[in-house]
Structure 1
Amino acid sequence: MAVAESFRQESGRIVAGLIRLTGDWDLAEECTQDAFAEALRTWPETGTPRRPGAWLTTVARNRAYDRLRRASTETAKLHEVAVLADPKGLSDVDVDLDGGSGIRDDRLRLMFTCCHPALPLEARVALTLRTLAGLTTAEIARAFLVPEQTMAKRLVRAKRKIANAAIPYRVPPAHLLPERTSGVLAVLYLLFNEGYSASGGADLAREGLCAEAIRLTRALVELMPGESEPAGLLALMLLQHSRRGARVDRAGNLITLEDQDRGLWHREEVDEATSLLERTLRARRIGPYQLQAAIAACHAEARRAADTNWAEISALYARLAELMPSPIVELNRAVAVAMADGPAAGLVLVDALEASGRLGDYHLLPALRADLLRRLGRRDDAAASYRRALHLTGNDAERRYISRRLDETCDSGSTGSVTATPAERANGSNDQRRWARSGPPVTALC
């Protein structure tokens, strides 16, 4: 639908532009939502405008103009009205807002504003995902593995903090960039993650979000050419995004890494990413994003799934877990251990994670546990875990995949024992490898 596509492509830019002009986060979000509501009402009758973004920008700006005009009694507010009345308002950029960086991108400015060190790290990430990417509070809550109400309160507090502290809307000067980099990288990482594996909806991926995350990360690399982690994150994104044409079939069904046609992978993106990664690793300032890019590169360099160096991937995940302890990292490490050393070894790690309760509502934990149990012939237990995963996932493509696995498990006989062969236990059969989702997933918060 044209409105939905325009929302994915334009909402962040419109919100960012209105925040720059008005300084009012809530007003910017509300007027942007009003513009899309108007599009839903009128476009089916009048047709999609030739330039949907310009149409939506004009409507949003006019709504803000009307709202401020009704509420304005002070000189400062009247000045804002005058600015908004300028038809060039959302396209012109004030030179003094770029902090001397030369970066004239409202969305990158908004990201740095959200990632001010006065805000807690999780609040920085959540606020940017809400305002820049247009993710719902529920989607962000799922990414952080917290209740939606908790996330809503965090967002309100973050906006209030920015207003009360008069945090400037700009890319900071070079000497202040490092203190905000971790938050910006986390935002870009989660933005890409939501695009790569959508938390809800009919499609497995939201390619517009992936493309936007890659574009903004390129801008950050340009802004900080001497830093290794932004380049590592860009390499990770390019490697993951290179598989987009092979991850689902024509019906939208998920295709696991084992069964993907590697000829459909975008080799130019793989080549760019591996070259970028090699340059960053030579600097010997190894960080989490570079390690994850190295893991993705192991998959990209294997001509066939059977050639994947799972022992190296397992070792890389062990190093990543040392640098960035996280239950999500441990879950991904369990995948690699299972592939390298057999499903029983992976199940030990998965059971420990489940006992900890740290991933109680994360669907990939029971999904992984189910597949490992199925490999070990414990089909009753596997079916129960598949049902748990099915209950937790909101993505239609993943639901169909898990449902197929559940049906296969039940059809194979829900009672009795099916024992893996010695070869399967030692090396892993083609079926054992097949459960891995589309490579090591770009995880949520690590």
Structure 2
Amino acid sequence: MLRHVAVLALAALCLPAQAKVDAAQATRLGQDLTPLGGERAANAAGTIPVWDGGLTTPPASYQPGMHHPDPYAGDAVLYTVNAQNLGQYQKVLPAGLQTLLQTHPDFNMRVFPSRRSAAAPQYVYDATKANATKAELIAGGNGVSGAAAGTPFPLPQNGQEVIWNHIMRFRGEQIHMVANHVAVLANGSYSLVLRDREIYFVYGRQGAQEGDLDNTLFHYKYSVTAPSKLAGSALLVEETIDQVMAIRKAWRFNRGERRVRRLPMLAYDALQPDTNGMALADQVDSYNGAPDRYEWKLLGKQEMLVPYNSYAVHQKGIPYEQILKAKTVNPDLLRYELHRVWIVEGELRTGFSHPYAKRRFYIDEDSWQILAVDLYDKGGKLVGLQESHPISYYDVPVFSSTLETIYDFKGGRYFVDGLDNNEPMYDFNADISPRSFSPASLRQQGN
């Protein structure tokens, strides 16, 4: 039986929306805490190792532009969790994963040694330490001031701060990526949608100052390149930090109309375009956008089995039909490890509507990446599971998902984003500037 540890800071749950810590607390960063605020030490059982800087040196076989070779390919499976032995591991499994195992006997979880590979550039660590004594929640927790470049709240005091750490975590300075998303229907059928995407991060740049941000987190656009019936449509987003003060701006180019239209709303429970109705706007990147529709509660930190170091499903040349099985992603390509995660619960506020009345998030202590989400309807029934399958892109370095999934338990179907095994690898040094993100450039990209 795995050791079950819950660290619950009950007093913190009642704190007002503030986060500044004093200089003495901030000095813990880089000492007993990692530079981003995780516990540096191993766990008592030795099943979670010491964080020793993460993975920052590529394997000898790596060349720029490659899909990242698996640095842990020699690791052996420690054990497998399945429907038959689920009872032994319930305390360390998100509820959604338990349901996935119970309802799909062919699905199992291969558990490997825990590898704390998450890392970021030194400037992100420096900015995080500076943020610790300056950053605070504003506008009822719907915005952040006093932060730039790094994690805003490395010593979080409430659930909102943990969620903001995910939203504002380091993801590189710019990215050009080509990847497929797909809705796998209950009968196992699917059609891949290939998108060419660009992201320019305003917040996470080296040398960024709060005054430079203009309430902007990043610029994002994509164009659909396949299938032919969708090719040419495009989307542009200007992601604001405080979306209650200034709503996210979004424009869409429709190939049939040959014109760019401003979207009135692409947030909360609005459907993502071209996803067959399977993915909501605020499910991109596990959670994004304004947090104002939910009451946030920090449940503590706990050791859990979560997706981690998912290099096997990332490798070049894997046929997509080998990844996409009838009911789930192929479990033989997934990797789970034991890690300490922050657990945050969001409950829908009175007067707001959303298909998910409650969400429980499991957030990595080393990177602030959301790794899993339990999704509940208004009746309190568990209706879905989201997972992010991350790797350390050690050439940057940045720790981020290579594959994201949403399982719909009611409909018996699932959604996957990030299928890039047969596409060019992400380019974190792409020649992208803010000038590339305008409605005019959207039409040009969509043509």
Structure 1 length-normalised TM: 0.21
Query: Which has a greater percent of strand?
Result: 2
Over alpha carbons, which structure has the higher Rg?
Answer: 1
Larger % of helix: which? 1
TM-score w.r.t. the length of structure 2 is 0.21
